[in-house]
Amino acid sequence: MTPVTFGNWLKQSLVLISRAPLLWTGCTLFIGLLLGIERVSLALGIFLAVTGLFVGVGVAKYIDMKSSTGTSLSFYRAIAKSLPLAILAAVSLVICWFVFRVTANIYSGELYKIGYFFFDWELTTEHLNNKSTHQIAGWLYLPAMITLLFILLMLTTFANWFSYPLMLFKDYSWSQAKQQGNQASVKNQAAMYKLLAFIFAATFIGAGIIPLLTPVLYMLVSTLMYVSYKTVFEAA
């Protein structure tokens, strides 16, 4: 049995990516397009970012099954199976973010900004002209980086790292997934701390140094979520 460590999770994730590099890269590029929408509509952008992240978990399982067992499940069926739960999670996070934003706007007396949550066109010459690719990417993907941190915050507060794959692959209820996931997180505490530290560090590095890697980080997080789940809950 493979030891449960963050290093092994990361290694297995990279191996999984190498099994279908074109598919994984294609999904990464597609997510990159979705993440930029937050500069037009924060609500829609958050919804698409969260949906893309969680659907990516299903894509990782599809790659694993296709390369190891030769599953007859089509890629589109794999996406369709992941979508309902991913959409539910995305809607929940959009609502949470909206509540926080409304509260902040009411407290600051800026009620007119509430509507900006749904539509605020920021793709203007002010932000795009005379800027380097690095500057534009940093500005474009900054909300996506914040969204990723918000997802992790909500997961650790109201669920846990393993909740989504447990609900998706084992049909657990939210309470069952939370209970089983919490037990697994405590049992593998060292690996979990290193995993979360890695994601936080990568997020800040991506936001400040290499923002173009933001879509890569999203797909890597999806892959890590599947690999860690498989190691803990599906190990032989």
Per-residue pLDDT tens over the stretch 142-190: 999 999 999 999 998 889 999 999 999 999 999 999 999 999 999 999 9
Q: Tell me: the pLDDT tens digits for 36-46?
A: 999 999 999 99
Report DSSP state, residue 176: H
Report the candidate in 23, 92, 54, 10 with the shortest Cα–Cα distance to residue 168. 54
Q: Tell me: the pLDDT tens digits for 189-218?
A: 999 999 999 999 998 887 678 888 999 999
Cα(61)–Cα(4) distance, integer angstroms: 18
Cβ–Cβ under 8 Å, residues 211 and 133: no
Whether the pLDDT of residue 70 is over 80: the answer is no
In the chain, where the domains are located: 6-111+127-233
Q: Any idea of the CA torsion for 176, 177, 181, 182, to the nearest 10 degrees?
A: -50
Q: Any idea of the CA torsion for 65, 68, 70, 76, to the nearest 10 degrees?
A: 30
How confident is the model over 91-98, as a mean pLDDT?
Answer: 95
Q: What is the pTM of this model?
A: 0.92
